[in-house]
Amino acid sequence: MEAILIPFLTAAALAASSAAVIAQDQAAYIDDRSDGPALIRSLYNAINRHEYARAYSYFAEGKTFGDYRSFVQGYAETVNVQLMTGTVTPEGAAGSIYSPVPVAIKSTEKGGKERVFAGCYITRIVNAAIQEPPFAPLHIESAELEEVSRPFEKALPKVCYPPS
């Protein structure tokens, strides 16, 4: 039997190490593909945690805003992102369910500059009962966002439309 050594920590040392872990990882890990808004929240959770490979994976293959390196560089100045989602009305079409997700995003950059974006993400899942392996989960099919001058609290679009 091999002995396992556990280092002794004082209460102060334990509190300091716990605070460092919490400060480093303030956003709890969220990876939820249960519906369109949950998927978009997961996307921005990954961005806030600087988990860009995970964020990039939420997009349908070939549907991102460029290659992975460009995607990551697009967030080089981003410190934090806040997200609001609006009402979603899923719509079925040709064996798929599309969910247009209205969003407002407030991005805080290094140096404190804040930018507000508004628009729509379209999420899609092919009916799970007709899929063959490998299973394709709910993903982001498209995104149309633009920077707006409205305050974040008033930037959320009222409605988004599924693809025609």
- Print the domain residue range for 133: 30-154
Q: Is residue 159 situated within a structural domain?
A: no
For residue 124, is it within any domain? yes
pLDDT in tens, the chain (164 residues): 333 333 333 333 334 333 333 344 567 999 999 999 999 999 999 999 999 999 999 999 876 668 899 999 999 999 999 999 999 999 988 899 999 999 999 999 999 999 999 999 999 999 988 999 999 999 999 999 999 999 999 999 988 887 66
Q: 3-state SS string over 11-61?
A: HHHHHHHHHHHHHHCCCCCCCCCCCHHHHHHHHHHHHHCCCHHHHHHCECC
Report the CATH number at residue 116. Answer: 3.10.450.50
* 92 falls within a domain: yes
The number of domains in the chain is: 1
Domain assignment present for 134: yes
CA atoms of 94 and 92, how far apart (whole Å): 7
